[in-house]
Amino acid sequence: KNGDVVTERNVHTLCDESFPLCMKILQFHLQRDNHLRNGGRFQYTLFLKAIGLPLSNSMFFWKMHFRKRVSEEVFVRRYSYHIRHAYGLEGKMADYPPQNCAEILKGTPGPLEYHGCPFKVLDQDRLIDVLKRSGLKIEACQDILNLSANGSPQNACARYFEMTQGETYPHPTVVHPNDYYDASRNIKRR
């Protein structure tokens, strides 16, 4: 919808440039572990669909990672249904919209799960690790850490936008990860 052609080949580049932290974390673990559990797959599949990743490319994308761990047969049996489901081609045939921040903030990831909002679910040490992974200097991140610790995850996210994109977030706060992505692409396109 914003003019970028999105395929399985450029997701990681777009991620580095423009994804909010909740999605960067899912991409990181997918690349590292070649696996995401159900909550993460659901959150990430819908986000990627909404930035313009077509179903056939989504299949390639997930398969590219999962096939490093499971056979083609297991991928098709266990995982392809869920991808088709997210695109409205299975089950209720509902064309699910991407999750907004309010929905993501309800996520309570268990062990080996990485969905949810990092500014809410990560403790300070883990948050520091992921901020460093984004190339930020921790001395400059005190605001983000304070907002996160004080129960203002969406304001922490807006501050993260500002620090990684070099401009103030164009709305009072972050309410949707796809709005965050669109705001970043608008900056990159200039």
Applying CB under 6 A, which residues contact ligand SF4? 20-22, 101, 104, 117-119, 153-154, 157, 174, 177, 180
Q: How far is the CB of 103 from ligand SF4 (least distance, A)?
A: 9
Q: Which is nearer to ligand SF4, 79 or 155 (CB)?
A: 155
Q: 135: closest CA among 166, 101, 90, 176?
A: 166
Is residue 52 a contact partner of residue 6, using CB atoms and an 8 Å limit? yes
Q: 47: closest CA among 31, 17, 27?
A: 27
SS3 content of the chain, % helix, strand, coil (to 5): 65, 0, 35
State how far the Cα of 144 lies from the Cα of 158, in Å rounded to an integer. 9
Q: Which is nearer to ligand SF4, 75 or 99 (CB)?
A: 99
Which is it for the CA torsion 169, 1, 107, 22, positive or negative? negative
Q: Which is nearer to ligand SF4, 66 or 119 (CB)?
A: 119
Q: Which is nearer to ligand SF4, 42 or 180 (CB)?
A: 180
Q: How far is the CB of 81 from ligand SF4 (least distance, A)?
A: 26
Q: How far is the CB of 105 from ligand SF4 (least distance, A)?
A: 6
Q: How far is the CB of 135 from ligand SF4 (least distance, A)?
A: 17
